[in-house]
Chain A
Amino acid sequence: MPQHAPANETVSDTELVRRLKARDPEAMEVLVRVHGSKLFGIAYQFTRNENVTEDVVQEALISIWNKIGTFQGRSSFTSWMYRVAANCALMRLRKEKRHINDVSLDQEDIDNAKKPLQLPGNEPLPVHTIQGEELKDHIQRAIDRLPEPYRSVVILKDVEEFSLEEISEMTNASLAAVKSRLHRARLTLRQMLLPYLSVQEAKKL
């Protein structure tokens, strides 16, 4: 294989998985060329920092190499790989102590399941008829204002569409705690985003 293969290289996931399982080191280079951007994209949702994302992607690549034997093809390789990358990003957040201790939050979350979070300046964002990039920016800033682990749960479920069971496993939290956190996060976001949640918009859903 040439040192720099073409950027538009196409290799099926089935073939890539076969080569990774056969411990072909060059398959790792194919993985970077074909899926590197996707791994970067998912890790960046959590870290919001290019340098930290680079570290997380490196950890994810090593993890994929070490764990490929456990991939049984029950989900697509892409979703399995996303999950590994998201796990690495969550571990990084925990190391940086942005992620509050999961265990102690479990009971608190269940007890307060119906209450929005009390954040400073939790008032709704200014009322404007905005669309496109401005709306996107407001929503992303609202998500970023959530404390951990609420922010991660929203990204995992409502943005990246992992299942509740997968999130429970990835965050080492009970299913009940994951549901409560997500519900509280949504209630809080609902308060912040209320000006954009016109009944007309909601009726389309």
Chain B
Amino acid sequence: MNLRIVKKYLKAARHPLGYHCTHMAKLIFDYVEGTLDPLVAAKLEKHLADCPECIEFLQTYRSTKHLCHEHGRVECQMPPEMKDKLLQFVRQSMDKA
């Protein structure tokens, strides 16, 4: 058995289900979007139960998405004169059409 395979087994042994932290980085996007295969998601959740680092990563990743949704939209009112300009544009365009 070569060193690479031994390392792989040792790494997996730290997490008996085989879902060690490198899987988390690969799967987190689909997990958060709800597009991960349910069986894979269940295995991932078992890993999460034993891994505080992955839980924190998941929470901060979700929180990033949440903050962008809650606060990312720039509120900007259309200036009143622009509505008049757009109406004028529409009338001219419809006349040409």
B74 within 8 A of A: yes
Nearest CB in chain B: distance from A186 CB, A: 5
Contact B63 A205 (CB under 8 A): yes
Residues of B within 8 A of A (CB-CB), count: 38
Specify the chain B residue showing the minimal Cβ separation from A62.
Answer: B93
A44–B74 Cα distance when bound, in Å, is: 8
Majority DSSP secondary structure for residues of A touching B? helix
A32 within 8 A of B: yes
Contact residue among A58, A139, A179, A194 (Cβ-Cβ distance under 8 Å from B60): A194
A36 within 8 A of B: yes
Contact B72 A159 (CB under 8 A): yes
Interface residue ranges, B against A (CB under 8 Å): 25-26, 28-30, 33, 56, 59-69, 71-79, 82-83, 85-87, 89-91, 93-94, 97
Interface residue ranges, A against B (CB under 8 Å): 25, 28-29, 31-33, 36-37, 40-41, 44-45, 48, 50, 54, 57-58, 61-62, 65, 114, 135-136, 139-140, 143, 154-155, 158-161, 164, 179, 182-183, 186-187, 189-190, 193-194, 196-197, 199, 201-203, 205
Can you name 6 A-B residue pairings with CB atoms under 8 Å?
A32-B87, A32-B90, A36-B86, A140-B71, A154-B72, A164-B33
